[in-house]
Chain A
């Protein structure tokens, strides 16, 4: 083999190897889906439909109603977003449009640090300091409530919401700002009537990614929500315990025998979570695609 063809062969081998490594992302996603299907789908056939869609989750008595868990996750996520979205948008607007340079230099690293704090540390902090406050000041019997969980989750999804919103605001052309100011509007009016509306699809993306982050969060939620599987449908649900899908898996998987109905049930819940986050991503990806094909970056 000549020198040139050896080099050419080497180049080909390296490119092939790198392509396989890149492809591994698809492989792993596929494998995760396959394992969730393999272990999770049997659950939906082993348990009668009336039981499956029941309002109670008592695995020890073979009662597997997933509604309270599903609604629990949804409820905590909505509470979290109702807190985190306005706060996150306000902080993004503040850092991008209003704050002086040095304030931005303090805010951004602090929020990056928040993104790096392990979930279990925030859960611990919530348990030891936040829960007693909720118990005493808001009169919830244990302090372990949907509200406590939503509050902790709100802070955990803030870094996502803030950074994605900031990118969206950043992508609004400077000419929009100039036009607003030239029309005699104040900076404040320009922000809320020109810049934020122009960035709305990116801001919606921030909300959805924040939701995805919140719905999948496990440890902190498990530590502060009290984990009672009840339907969060009554008026006082905000200050009652609640149990999410993620917390159910984390709390119960350690004690089940592999292959039991309960084992398959927990994989079934995992499958539901996987599909939920997949759908959120698909929606975000299609929004991004539309944005690019429209020519702008908003």
Chain B
């Protein structure tokens, strides 16, 4: 057979396969957006659930997810960014450093439900935090740590070495150079990484199943030791555990969760592209 004909057929096949991959993704988002948007109202976003969650709103789930995400950020941000700075600026190529890198890769691939088990064993039972926002945030923080650490390292490594040399030549110490010269240059990259890490855990269900999530709690959490509803867990509950749940409410919840996660995603890419255009190196 004519090789050019084979090539043309091959390229057509690859195009078709790419469509097979892309179309379901667009379908998922399209269907959830169209069906979900219909039920979205001020009440749906700001009211407590009523009638066994079939009516009213999903406010406690929204607030719960925001609180868990915030708690995760408070714990994971200093540890992750600090660790990333160490890896990029201080670590030598030693066994110690290689072990840290191996640990990061492994942390990143532990199944989310195993994080849930760890959170249950360590925070809920051993440290006796109970099923709480605190236990859930700590679990999610450890889960997102590898993402934040490695993107921080990457962002710092992207800053040219001259920035450090110039700072040192002006008499700055190593930390002064990092703090006042390198870190500000790497900040957009770090922020992008942090947001990507957080949005990944904001949509997680398995790690909070036994560490933070409440099945039905029609009030807002009072302290970090309170359990809480959360959007992903709520979607799981109303789509599998509650018979006779109106499909509209399910689509609405999925829509709110998707919008939350994707808007963080868009913010991250906007920051990235904005600063990539602005920087001078």
Contact = CB atoms under 8 A, between A and B. Distances in A.
Contacts of A25: 83, 100, 103-104, 107, 145-146, 149
Given A15-B90, A22-B83, A35-B122, A116 B6 contact: no
Interface stretch (B15-23, B46-54, B181-189): B15-23
B243 interface: no
B contact face: mostly helix, strand, loop, or mixed: helix
A169 to B, nearest CB: 13
Max chain B Cβ within 10 angstroms of own Cβ: one of A28, A121, A267, A273? A121
Nearest to A21: B82
A270 B207 CA distance: 13
B117 A270 contact: yes
Interface string A79-108: 000000011001101110011000000110
Contacts of A107: 18, 22
Contacts, number: 253
Contact of B110 (A10, A114, A216, A223): A216
Interface stretch (B158-166, B218-226, B253-261): B253-261
Nearest to A118: B203
Interface stretch (B28-36, B37-45, B55-63): B28-36
Interface in B75-108: 78-79, 82-83, 85-87, 89-91, 99-100, 102-107
Interface in A116-137: 116-125, 127-129
B7 A129 contact: no
B121 interface: yes
Interface string A159-177: 0000000000000000000
Number of contact residues on A: which range applies? Answer: 35 or more
Interface string A1-44: 00000010011001101110111111011011001101100000
Contact of B24 (A31, A120, A123, A155): A155
A107 to B, nearest CB: 6
A147 to B, nearest CB: 15
Contacts of A113: 25, 29, 262, 265
A219 B17 contact: no
A131 B201 CA distance: 27
B203 to A, nearest CB: 3
Max chain B Cβ within 10 angstroms of own Cβ: one of A113, A212, A246, A258? A113
A280 interface: yes
B156 to A, nearest CB: 12
Contacts of A53: none
Interface of B: 3-4, 6-7, 10-11, 13-15, 17-18, 20-22, 24-26, 28-29, 31-32, 78-79, 82-83, 85-87, 89-91, 99-100, 102-107, 109-118, 120-122, 125-126, 142, 145-146, 149, 173-175, 199-200, 202-206, 209-210, 232-233, 235-236, 239-240, 247, 250, 254, 257-258, 261-262, 265, 269
Q: Which 10 A-B pairs have the closest CB atoms?
A: A118-B203, A216-B111, A21-B82, A188-B7, A22-B86, A18-B86, A22-B83, A94-B14, A218-B206, A90-B17
Interface of A: 7, 10-11, 14-15, 17-19, 21-26, 28-29, 31-32, 35-36, 38-39, 86-87, 90-91, 93-95, 98-99, 106-107, 109-114, 116-125, 127-129, 155, 158, 185-189, 209, 212-213, 215-219, 223, 246, 249-250, 253-254, 258, 266-267, 270, 273-274, 277-278, 280-281, 284-285
